[in-house]
């Protein structure tokens, strides 16, 4: 069976054909690390984890690169807004790299809880300044960039006039972009209002800066991904992924940079996950309507009725196709929790099934349906519905209305192991191999409770203790500190 992937660039499903099979190169835009990961970060993390897992499952050797934007000014086109990491550092009286390191670890810990596999390579923007400077030189040499007041800008109009199309990915029209571009700091340095910065001269107050032949400054936001993807995957690779909010201008600008630096587009397949919304509005830090993953795990956000486990969050996200919007609600999370429980109970019950000499169930048919679902642009909702068919079979085998032999029960067990555990990435949180994650989550809640007690917020302290108790976790305060155990 062939794998079909929806390509944002061509706006259709295409047969997945790697450049150098069985090797696959995949680059995904990672987070800007100036705050805790929220549900909006979980979706791309899980989406591309599924793609990574499935390609490996099919036998491909995948090099998965996901960057960390560890310099805040790289997030906003480099000539507008304030350096978010520097702003956070100033507020907390820390060095910017302390902020970046702290929130990088927090992000990775949250992804670990969600059972998101670590990428093959996780480069940082600040660690690849030399590579970014070299690409700016290439674009200048090609004639599609210009120097102005110590900054370097990409000339979008020249690029468009020379038969290229800026807007090929997002289907935007340059004339409309020029007409609607806002007046921002540094616009007077540009030839065209829509030109974007490749290198920006740092103002005296700018904390993070690097020397270059043009000025002491910093690279534009779009440049980091072009530099890191080409370094680790080559000038042309298989898959470039990210959230739909990155399609324009970030990914559009990446294509333009690669065309001028290397003479061709960077990736064969562009894959974008859709947004998670709250009340129909995109969830995000800039809008202030986000719920952090820690708040989901502890139930401490005002919009949450209770805590939700990492696997419930993962299953909730996987119940929608990655290209569909997904709206948050407590009801939807509760439904996901119930569905997940049914699948987990069925998987645990397989060992209770009594085998016979004959078999009346067809496990191979469900297995083929699972392949068909994932080969249709990684359709996890359909895959999950196929696994619920297997749940029905398990229940019939338990009540004796169906029969199964030894060979078929091995296939049934393998079905769950392959598709539920390895492809969907679901872990049984009651199993012993989840204890490190459970311990980490309990410690997280105990730390929150410690802060509440230090602030004499006894009501919050009691609430957190009671929430743990409802989950079967009993904590005990003593002069030596806090201890806990699973009941």
What is the per-residue pLDDT across 269-306, written as a single tens digit (0 to 9) for each? 999 999 999 877 877 666 677 899 999 999 999 999 99
285: three-class secondary structure by DSSP: coil
Give the CA distances from residue 285 to residues 31, 41, 269, 451, 479, in Å, rounded to whole numbers and listed in that order.
12, 10, 28, 24, 40
Beta bridge partners of 13: 6
Closest CA to 66 of 7, 122, 22: 122
Question: Cβ–Cβ contacts within 10 Å for residue 210, how many?
Answer: 17
Question: Does residue 395 carry a pLDDT above 80?
Answer: yes
In the chain, residues under CATH classification 1.20.120.640 are: 277-423
- Are 48 and 241 spatial neighbours (Cβ–Cβ below 8 Å)? yes
Beta bridge partners of 276: 326
HSE on the CB side for 375, CA within 13 Å? 12
| pTM for this predicted structure | 0.86
* Average pLDDT of every residue of the chain: 90
Q: Given this model, what pLDDT does residue 132 score?
A: 97
| Between 286 and 101, the higher pLDDT residue | 101
CATH of domain 277-423: 1.20.120.640
Question: Does residue 469 carry a pLDDT above 50?
Answer: yes
Q: Please count the helices (runs of H) and the strands (runs of E) in the chain.
A: 16, 15
- To the nearest 10°, report the CA torsion of 366, 372, 377, 380: -10
Q: Choose the most confident range, by mean pLDDT, from 6-20, 79-93, 451-465.
A: 6-20
Q: Which of 8-12, 67-71, 163-167, 278-282 has the lowest mean pLDDT?
A: 278-282
Question: Does residue 98 carry a pLDDT above 90?
Answer: no
Q: Are strands 473-478 and 481-486 parallel, antiparallel or unpaired?
A: antiparallel
Closest CA to 409 of 347, 457, 344: 347
| pLDDT > 70 fraction of the chain, expressed in percent and rounded | 92
Tokens of 276: 């998670």
Q: Which of 159-163, 242-246, 285-289, 363-367 has the lowest mean pLDDT?
A: 285-289
Q: Which of 133-142, 341-350, 414-423, 449-458 has the lowest mean pLDDT?
A: 449-458
Q: How far apart are the C-alpha atoms of 272 and 262, rounded to whole Å? A: 23
Domain 4-273 in CATH 1.20.1260.10? The answer is no
228: three-class secondary structure by DSSP: helix
Average pLDDT of the segment spanning 345-361: 95
Length of the chain: 487
Tokens 């038969």 identify what position? 163
Look up residue 129 and give its DSSP letter.
Answer: H
Average pLDDT of the segment spanning 404-420: 97
Q: Given this model, what pLDDT does residue 187 score?
A: 67
- To the nearest 10°, report the CA torsion of 174, 180, 184, 190: 30
In the chain, residues under CATH classification 3.40.50.620 are: 4-273
What is the per-residue pLDDT across 192-202, written as a single tens digit (0 to 9) for each? 989 999 999 99
Tokens of 228: 């890191």
Torsions phi, psi for 77 (to 5 deg): 60, 10
H/E stretch holding 268: strand 267-273
What is the per-residue pLDDT across 214-230, written as a single tens digit (0 to 9) for each? 999 999 989 999 999 99
DSSP string, 305-320: SS---HHHHHHHHHTS
Question: Cβ–Cβ contacts within 10 Å for residue 59, how many?
Answer: 8
| Between 174 and 235, the higher pLDDT residue | 235
Q: Is 430 exposed, middle or buried (0-12, 13-18, 19+ CB in 10 A)?
A: exposed
Which residues are CB-neighbours of 309 under 8 A, at least 6 positions away? 297, 337, 429
Q: Is the peptide bond before 440 cis (omega within 30 degrees of 0)?
A: no
- Are 189 and 153 spatial neighbours (Cβ–Cβ below 8 Å)? yes
Q: Given this model, what pLDDT does residue 79 score?
A: 42
37: three-class secondary structure by DSSP: coil
Give the CA distances from residue 180 to residues 193, 196, 446, in Å, rounded to whole numbers and listed in that order.
9, 15, 50
- Are 79 and 197 spatial neighbours (Cβ–Cβ below 8 Å)? yes
H/E stretch holding 23: strand 23-28
- Are 77 and 196 spatial neighbours (Cβ–Cβ below 8 Å)? yes
Question: Cβ–Cβ contacts within 10 Å for residue 101, how many?
Answer: 16
Q: Which of 205-219, 249-263, 405-419 has the lowest mean pLDDT?
A: 205-219
Tokens of 97: 């790299």
Average pLDDT of the segment spanning 226-245: 97
Q: Given this model, what pLDDT does residue 282 score?
A: 78
| pLDDT > 90 fraction of the chain, expressed in percent and rounded | 69
Give, in degrees to the nearest 5, the angle at Cα 368 between 363 and 370. 95
Which residues are CB-neighbours of 461 under 8 A, at least 6 positions away? 449, 452, 453
């Amino acid at each position: 069976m062939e794998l079909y992937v929806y390509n944002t660039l061509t706006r259709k499903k295409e047969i997945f054909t790697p450049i150098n099979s069985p090797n696959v190169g995949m680059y995904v835009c990672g987070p800007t690390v100036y705050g805790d990961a929220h549900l909006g970060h979980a979706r791309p993390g899980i989406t591309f984890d599924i793609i990574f897992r499935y390609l490996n499952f099919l036998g491909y050797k995948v090099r998965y690169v996901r960057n960390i934007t560890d310099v805040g000014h790289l997030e906003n086109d480099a000539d507008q807004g304030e350096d978010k990491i520097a702003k956070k550092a100033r507020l907390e009286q820390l060095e910017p790299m302390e902020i970046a390191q702290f929130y990088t670890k927090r992000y990775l810990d949250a992804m670990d809880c969600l059972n998101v596999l670590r990428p093959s390579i996780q480069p940082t923007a600040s660690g690849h300044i030399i590579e970014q400077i070299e690409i700016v030189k290439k674009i200048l040499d090609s004639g599609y960039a210009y120097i102005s007041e110590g900054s370097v800008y990409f000339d979008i109009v020249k690029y468009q006039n020379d038969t290229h199309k800026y807007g090929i990915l997002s289907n935007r029209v340059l004339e409309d972009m020029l007409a609607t571009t806002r007046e921002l700091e540094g616009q007077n340095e540009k030839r065209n209002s829509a030109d974007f910065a490749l290198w920006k001269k740092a103002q005296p107050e700018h904390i993070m800066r690097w020397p270059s032949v043009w000025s002491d400054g910093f690279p534009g936001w779009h440049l980091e991904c072009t530099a890191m993807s080409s370094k680790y995957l080559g000038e042309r690779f298989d898959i470039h992924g990210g959230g739909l909010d990155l399609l324009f201008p970030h990914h559009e600008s990446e294509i333009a940079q690669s065309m001028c630096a290397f003479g061709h587009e960077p990736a064969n397949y562009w894959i974008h996950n859709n947004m998670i919304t709250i009340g129909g509005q995109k969830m995000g830090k800039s809008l202030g309507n986000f719920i952090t993953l820690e708040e989901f795990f502890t139930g401490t956000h005002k919009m949450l009725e209770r805590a939700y486990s990492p696997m419930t969050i993962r299953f909730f996200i996987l119940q929608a196709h990655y290209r569909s919007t997904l709206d948050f609600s407590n009801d939807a999370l509760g439904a996901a929790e119930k569905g997940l429980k049914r699948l987990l109970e069925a998987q645990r019950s397989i060992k209770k099934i009594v085998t016979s000499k004959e078999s009346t169930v067809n496990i191979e048919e469900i297995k083929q349906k699972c392949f068909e679902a994932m080969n249709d642009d990684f359709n996890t909702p359909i895959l999950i519905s196929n696994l619920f068919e297997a749940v029905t079979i398990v229940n019939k085998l338990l009540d004796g209305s169906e029969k199964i032999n030894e060979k078929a029960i091995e296939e049934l067990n393998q079905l769950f192991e392959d598709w539920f555990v390895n492809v969907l990435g679901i872990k049984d949180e009651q199993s012993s191999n989840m204890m490190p994650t459970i311990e980490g989550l309990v410690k997280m809640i105990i730390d929150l409770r410690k802060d509440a007690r230090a602030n004499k917020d006894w009501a919050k302290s009691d609430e957190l203790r009671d929430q743990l108790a409802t989950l079967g976790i009993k904590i005990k305060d003593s002069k030596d500190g806090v201890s806990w155990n699973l009941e």
